[in-house]
Structure 1
Amino acid sequence: MHLLNLGILAHVDAGKTSLTERLLHSVGVIDEIGSVDAGSTQTDTLALERRRGITIKSAVVSFAVDDVTVNLIDTPGHPDFIAEVERVLGVLDGAVLVVSAVEGVQAQTRVLMRTLERLRIPTLVFVNKIDRRGAGYDRVLRAVADRLTPAIVPMGTVDAPGTREARFRPGIGAYDVLADHDDDLLSAFVEGRVGTDLLRRALVAQTRQALVHPVYFGSAVTGAGIPELITGIKELLPAADGDPEGPVSGTVFKVERGPAGEKVAYARVFSGTLGIRDRVPCGAARTEGRVTAISVFDGGTETRREAVPAGRIAKLWGLADIRVGDALGEPRKAHGHFFAPPSLETVVVPGPDTDSTALHLALTQLAEQDPLIGLRHDEERRETSVSLYGEVQKEVIQATLAEEFGFDVTFRESSPLCVERPVGTGAAVRFNKKDGNPFLATVGLRVDPAPVGSGVGFRREVELGAMPYAFFKAVEDTVHETLGHGLYGWQVTDCTVTMTHCGYSPRQSHAHQRFNKSMSSTGADFRGVTPPVLVEALRRAGTGVYEPMHRFRVEAPADTLGALLPALTALRAVPETTETRGETGSVEGTVPAARLHALEQRLPGLTRGEGELESAFDHYERVTHGNVPFRPAPTRKS
């Protein structure tokens, strides 16, 4: 029996959770299909998920198809919870991307497909809701090829789309796509001798290499196309690999709290075997934790085990310091972030009877489960800010604090989460025991602009042996920490910081002298002198503030575009293309993230309630109009 760790991904409302229910029912895990609207699904277990009818947290459930055990991970579809999807992608062997046969390819669908292809995750596409009015076959297939990827292989056709009688008729097409990657198949295709076996072997090999993506059509409600999809999952996607005898290596993709407040980590084990009572290094600090209990997912239930081998997903107890994204055992090569960071920020305002300290602890617990919440705490102002992907996430945080912690909170109006980038080169230096430098350390730093998206790089122009390595490490760590707040208070990115000068007062080594801290350099000296040197270098370089911009697409009745376009301009949106097809018009362009919520609110009134908006983060753009946004850096009590 082999394992497959499978992700179900989609734009919100494409029917992803309903498909999960139908799969579980079809393989005999559940006797009755749950309903998203009724709040009775297997994977949406949070009360808030059931009430709102959306997936907020990823969930794992297991089922068997003949000799294949599938660990299925249902992920959120709403773009506000893309961070939850990001963590899951790194533990998958394959994926099913769900597209609605009615709405077709949507903004989040494109974001997900680009990421799946970049990570080379083998992916099947399932076009759901073929039984709904307005469902299409040719139209959606063209949209998948045009807007997602041309490397698709239709696995059949649809009879009577848009009716309850809609059925999926299997049959592999698009030989030419497979032939693009297979010379033998191309020769057979040209010579007219393409056989079923040759075609099937090519399809399996190329799907597992993420070169092509089979496309199935069906309905999670009626069950049409589900048997064919299950067969595709079993035969076309690759099995989990990993040596159970190798060194332990795993990744934590989810952390939750148990009934007693204990941390429970969801982890994929890539190598080795992790057992109860084993001690395992965790996270960047490599803090050792001891596993006290293990559960694996099997046959739709959780089963306690003494150990979990490579390839499996498990729940682990006992790792008190664990955080989402931590490595277990030997770290694997990091992929970095798959999606754009949050583009909004808001201040949490405690209710009249809410203790600010207790609220901060509760928010810290939420940040353990979702690191991209990005807490910023200002002790002097007694304010805590959180990062956001959108307004729905704000509502969810508010409801979670009320239901799980009993805290009544509101939020200030969301503001854009900008970044700073150097616009020139600047350098500064402070020398040990000169010009009033209170620290026993010499540090010189130069700041240079770097390519967009490159983050922060740290280099040295001084010899590594010029002073103890711990002092270099103190400078590098402090550089990254200091760049969290630039000249305008925003995180500084896309720059290279080079250490140009170094020096220290060595520890007195004569036998008759005792160590005198006041005369010898310590790491604290380098952590103390680095911030003012770096800030001075930034001042000389100069920085620009860049605000997040979203790419948007609005579809609306063509006769409403005349009112819509001036409204977009008033919101500082930049329409780039306008198109009219019959009675429907569309506008594409960019809009500041800060104005996106206002656009969402105004759209129904401007389009008689018929306008549809898609948006996704696109880029950062320098602020050149009005006052440059300034964010006070958090102050801390001395």
Structure 2
Amino acid sequence: MDTELENIRNIGIIAHIDAGKTTTTERVLYYSGASHRMGSVDDGTTTTDFDEEEAKRGITIYSAAITCHWRDKTINLIDTPGHVDFTAEVERSLRVLDGAIVVFSAVEGVEAQSETVWRQANHYKVPRVCFINKMDRIGADFEQTFDEIKSRLEAHPIAMQVPMGAGSAPAPGYLTGIIDLYKMKALYFDPESKGADMREEEIPEEFQGLAEEWRSRLIEEVAQLDESLLEVYLETEDVPYDLFQKTLRAATLRGEVQPLFCGSSLDFIGVQPILDAVSDYLPSPLDMPPVEGDDPSGKKQGKLKRDCNPEEQFCGLVFKVVTDQHGEFHFIRVYSGTLKSGSRVLNPRTGKKELVSQLRRVQADSREKIETDEVYAGDIIGVIGLKDVATGDTLCDSKHPIALENIVFPETVISMAVEPDSSAERKKLEEVLDKLSRQDPTFKAKVSEETGQTIISGMGELHLEILKNRMEHDFNLKIKVHKPRVSYRETIKKAQEVSGEFSRTANSVTQYAQVKLRVEPSEEDAVKVESKLKPDALPPKMAELLKQSIKDVTQAGGAVGYPLIRVKLTILDVDYREGETTDVALQAAAGNAVYEALGKAGAVLLEPMMRLKVTTPHEFLGNIQSDLNARRALIVNSVQKGSLTVMEAEAALSQMFGYSTQVRSLSQGRASYSMEPLKYAEAPAEVLRDMMS
């Protein structure tokens, strides 16, 4: 069993949108024998972009899991989205993966979402290899992209290869192949066999100097990773291959370096060496530390640990739920023990046992999944039969419960109202929204207490549009939607100290309490409640009730009704009278104090700001800049890249609705852009005035 675990690789392919993740995945599946035809993103025929919306738009929306084999390794591969609206798919995939291939475009270099997925991988301590793709494109620049990975991501890439040329035929100096820097061999990939036939030759004379320069850097950097290897290098000016591999693998697993490769997935160049790198440098489940969790009952203090061992007690994490008309399909990473078909497992969140009806090996969306009776620690599996289970839930042995760390997802930034076409479909709408919420943790649905409307919230316009289309096409639901709304936040201008009092006499019984509060702005994107009461100022249970009451009142929002952030409330004093200060009186006094404090502190409306990156040919630059100025965007940087200009800007989300259509119109479809949440910033005063008038 240990040998089998050593040969498993749970990896993901992550990148900015349009860097070539899905095309790279298609090549991997073809060369590994998992697919007998090579799909095309442009034709909508890829294996992992199986959803109708994905095929139509040419982008990945849902992470897709598929199993393939290379050399003696079993690779569980997850292709993830690059569009920021679907960042939750990347987040939950990285939570359960052991390693990742990060793809960069040689033309655009490090982009906004490249930085986001790199930060996510840092957070989960995921070892990585890098692939500079699209070396066949006009404007491809290997060295500039390499330098950007070092500077912008604060990474330590180690080039294992360099390209022979850039661009495509018949342009002069076009990409013909790649150079293996350790072996000092030129690698050529036969286009007639779609790159399946690869041959090694001597390096052409015109690339000899380039190869020697980069190889010297490679050997020197790897030698410096280990003292004993450095001694060998200083004596011989070279390092033996087995020690080179061992040292580089160990440093990659520690996250100190990232082996870097290059090529063109579209032109079938350089994909097999990435598969070799997955085998050689990325971790098996045995290389990962034990998974940690808490005792759900709270009886045991400290962290509980589970080793990646089939003989351990079972525990696993549900990292994805797929919902359609046929039911629910749950993706589970098994961290310890053995999961058997027909067994019952505990969900610590609900306290209920769940029946594992079937275990199936997953091949993207294929319903012809391979059934199996049991699956062991370190593997990824699909489960049928679970009922009340959501993304992020732990499943475990009921006699040895453990709750693994949940997956934290970003807050939604955009909302719209949705209603059924007829009152008869209202119940069906509720059921569909509940299913979609369980599947997608960044999708929220609630009924507004003020208007009675059903409000759905998500990560962006595209996100909500995709979900709307799913309701209509996948669930045959006829709905009407209303204009998207921005998810504003509120904070306060200044500090204030106030007292809130409650005094009432009824039937000769007096209830009384007075609470003194200080409210002030803070730096945290949350509401913080502290107490400076003396230990004997209130009975302990009442003191806890007071703090909770203040938190509950602030959850109703500020002056306009939006959630509060960056606010700190401190309980300064309480006038407590034995026999008169009841729970009800204390809660009422606390509420009065909070409302008065927020009113006097002055409301500040905060709006979500987006980080925007626009890439455009020079001739359309003026039009696009004028449009951004009209949207009150702040252009913070502008860089020339060949015939293109790359602008970075900060813009309010409220001003960016419909931007995808506009930027295409202004550039004859030749400009591209990416956008991701940046921060909350103060909205213009007139926006707040309009809301309060």
In structure 2, the residue matched to 1:267 is 332
Q: Is the 8 A contact 2:137 2:168 kept in 1?
A: yes
Cα distance change of structure 1 residues 530 and 265 upon mapping to structure 2, 3 Å threshold: farther
Could you give the per-residue CA deviations for residues 149-176 of structure 1, whole angstroms, max 9, x where no partner exists? 4410111122243337732322254435
In structure 2, the residue matched to 1:292 is 356
CA distance in 2, matches of 1:194, 1:232: 21
In structure 2, the residue matched to 1:145 is 150
Cα distance change of structure 1 residues 399 and 259 upon mapping to structure 2, 3 Å threshold: closer
Cα distance change of structure 1 residues 611 and 265 upon mapping to structure 2, 3 Å threshold: closer
Match among 195, 198, 211 for residue 239 of structure 2: 195
Point out the more displaced range, 137-146 or 411-420.
137-146
CA distance in 2, matches of 1:471, 1:365: 40
> How far off its partner does 1:401 sit?
1.0
In structure 1, the residue matched to 2:57 is 52
In structure 1, the residue matched to 2:392 is 325
Q: Is the 8 A contact 1:445 1:534 kept in 2?
A: no
> How far off its partner does 1:378 sit?
1.7
Q: Is the 8 A contact 1:471 1:526 kept in 2?
A: no
Q: Which amino acid counterpart does residue 170 of structure 1 have in structure 2?
A: D
Q: Is the 8 A contact 1:432 1:439 kept in 2?
A: no
In structure 1, the residue matched to 2:448 is 378
Q: Is the 8 A contact 2:26 2:39 kept in 1?
A: yes
> How far off its partner does 1:466 sit?
6.5
> How far off its partner does 1:552 sit?
2.2
Q: Is the 8 A contact 1:439 1:528 kept in 2?
A: no
Question: Given the alignment of the two structures, is residue 387 of structure 1 paired with residue 457 of structure 2, yes or no?
Answer: yes
Cα distance change of structure 1 residues 213 and 459 upon mapping to structure 2, 3 Å threshold: same
* Structure 1 gap segments, 5+ residues each: 508-518, 633-638
SS in 1 for 2:245: helix
Match among 1, 24, 30 for residue 29 of structure 2: 24
Match among 275, 280, 296 for residue 235 of structure 1: 280
Cα distance change of structure 1 residues 618 and 260 upon mapping to structure 2, 3 Å threshold: closer
In structure 2, the residue matched to 1:556 is 616
Q: Is the 8 A contact 1:151 1:177 kept in 2?
A: no
CA distance in 2, matches of 1:53, 1:66: 31
Could you give the per-residue CA deviations for residues 133-189 of structure 1, whole angstroms, max 9, x where no partner exists? 554433433343343344101111222433377323222544354466544455555
> How far off its partner does 1:87 sit?
1.6
Q: Is the 8 A contact 1:289 1:318 kept in 2?
A: no
In structure 1, the residue matched to 2:483 is 413
Cα RMSD of the aligned pairs, angstroms, is: 3.8
CA distance in 1, matches of 2:577, 2:380: 51
Cα distance change of structure 1 residues 627 and 34 upon mapping to structure 2, 3 Å threshold: closer
SS in 2 for 1:627: helix
Q: Is the 8 A contact 1:425 1:446 kept in 2?
A: no
Could you give the per-residue CA deviations for residues 8-62 of structure 1, whole angstroms, max 9, x where no partner exists? 1122222212222221221222222223333333222323323333222222111
SS in 1 for 2:629: helix
Point out the more displaced range, 15-24 or 132-141.
132-141
Match among 633, 636, 639 for residue 576 of structure 1: 636
Q: Which amino acid counterpart does residue 310 of structure 1 have in structure 2?
A: A
> How far off its partner does 1:537 sit?
4.3
SS in 2 for 1:200: helix
SS in 1 for 2:249: helix
Q: Which amino acid counterpart does residue 26 of structure 2 have in structure 1?
A: E
CA distance in 1, matches of 2:574, 2:344: 43
Cα distance change of structure 1 residues 322 and 488 upon mapping to structure 2, 3 Å threshold: same
CA distance in 2, matches of 1:574, 1:26: 46
1:86-101 matches, within 5 Å, as 86-101=91-106
In structure 2, the residue matched to 1:304 is 371
CA distance in 2, matches of 1:81, 1:383: 25
Match among 377, 381, 389 for residue 314 of structure 1: 381
Q: Which amino acid counterpart does residue 265 of structure 1 have in structure 2?
A: H
> How far off its partner does 1:547 sit?
0.8
Q: Which amino acid counterpart does residue 289 of structure 1 have in structure 2?
A: K
Cα distance change of structure 1 residues 384 and 177 upon mapping to structure 2, 3 Å threshold: farther
CA distance in 2, matches of 1:91, 1:506: 54
CA distance in 2, matches of 1:112, 1:129: 19
> How far off its partner does 1:230 sit?
0.7
CA distance in 1, matches of 2:521, 2:9: 40
Cα distance change of structure 1 residues 585 and 7 upon mapping to structure 2, 3 Å threshold: closer
Q: Is the 8 A contact 1:356 1:382 kept in 2?
A: no
- Using the size of structure 1 for normalisation, the TM-score is 0.83
CA distance in 2, matches of 1:65, 1:117: 27
Cα distance change of structure 1 residues 226 and 556 upon mapping to structure 2, 3 Å threshold: closer
* Structure 2 gap segments, 5+ residues each: 170-174, 183-214, 287-307, 397-401
CA distance in 2, matches of 1:439, 1:124: 71
Cα distance change of structure 1 residues 435 and 315 upon mapping to structure 2, 3 Å threshold: farther
Q: Is the 8 A contact 1:279 1:291 kept in 2?
A: yes
- Using the size of structure 2 for normalisation, the TM-score is 0.77
CA distance in 2, matches of 1:445, 1:82: 43
CA distance in 1, matches of 2:536, 2:271: 61
In structure 2, the residue matched to 1:516 is none
Q: Which amino acid counterpart does residue 462 of structure 2 have in structure 1?
A: V
Cα distance change of structure 1 residues 195 and 442 upon mapping to structure 2, 3 Å threshold: farther
CA distance in 1, matches of 2:235, 2:54: 55
SS in 1 for 2:110: coil
1:511-550 matches, within 5 Å, as 534-550=594-610
Point out the more displaced range, 413-422 or 479-488.
479-488
Point out the more displaced range, 130-139 or 342-351.
130-139
Q: Is the 8 A contact 2:513 2:577 kept in 1?
A: no
In structure 2, the residue matched to 1:590 is 650
Question: Given the alignment of the two structures, is residue 251 of structure 1 paired with residue 317 of structure 2, yes or no?
Answer: yes
